[in-house]
Amino acid sequence: MSAYFSDVLTLAQKDLRLELRVRNTVPAMLLFVVSALVVFHFALPAGSSDLAAKGMLWVAIVFTALLGLGRAFVAEREQRLLDGLLLAPCDRSAIWLAKTVSVLGFLVVAELVALPAFAIFFSGIDGATIAGVALADLGICAVGTLLAAMAVAGRARELLLPLLFLPLAIPIVVGGVGASVADDPGRYLGFLALYDAVFAIISWASFEYVVTE
């Protein structure tokens, strides 16, 4: 078991080190999320409620995550790294878990900027919203990493991922928006936790089939 987690840790460190050296995902996500918030300011007519702005925050989060996920397997594809990883004597699901962890790390960094920026530009953020974002991040990264691995197998990679991901992201948006706007966020947070658990297990179990023949 500890061997499994040390594999995950090694693989995740590889992704983080790569990002620290090349820096081509996180800065793009940061710039994108701030630009999106500025666009949303102009998309909401004067007098729009804070509730509408909260909804926009979730749109920004989902699309920023999509940007990061689209880059997740680029190195694996361009350098033919995936073949090497598959030859390595580690469990295939460890590759998925490591990638999920690194994408989650990137997304959290983007949100550490996005949430304060949202609070400055629009309205304050409460604890329920932060809890909702944290839970939603887990689901987005777990499902998104699996779908990103699927999308790189196809010809129309960049085109394919949003099409595969958005229908699966609808429940996350429902849970997240509900947690930020409803009076009783508990049931929405519970729903997000359920989504995370179900789809994390399924993704963990099925990743092997996605990358092998």
**Smallest distance, Å, CB 21 to other proteins?**
31
Phi-psi sector, 3: left (phi>0), alpha (psi -120 to 50), beta: alpha
Number of neighbours of residue 128 by Cβ within 10 angstroms: 19
DSSP SS3 for 116? helix
Instruction: Compare residues 80 and 155 and give the one whose CB is closer to other proteins.
Output: 155
DSSP secondary-structure letter at 153?
T
Q: How far is the CB of 129 from other proteins (least distance, A)?
A: 14
Q: Would you call 126 helix, strand, or coil by DSSP?
A: coil
The nearer residue to other proteins, 43 or 182, going by C-beta atoms, is 182
123 three-state secondary structure: coil
For residue 179, CA distances in Å to 39, 54, 138, 141 come to 24, 10, 15, 19
Closer Cβ to other proteins, 39 or 205, answer by number: 205
Q: At its nearest, how many Å lie between other proteins and the CB of residue 59?
A: 15
Binding part of the chain for other proteins, among 6-14, 76-84, 86-94, 162-170 by CB under 8 A, reads 162-170
CB 193 within 8 A of CB 150: no
Stretch that binds other proteins, among 13-21, 33-41, 130-138, 159-167 (CB under 8 A): 159-167
DSSP 80: T
38 lines the binding site for other proteins (CB under 8 A): no
Window 138-157: contact mask with other proteins (x via CB under 8 A): --------x---xx-xxxx-
Q: Which residues bind other proteins (CB under 8 A)?
A: 146, 150-151, 153-156, 159-160, 163-164, 166-168, 170-171, 174-175, 177-178, 181-182, 187-188, 191, 194-195, 198-199, 202, 206, 209-210, 212-213
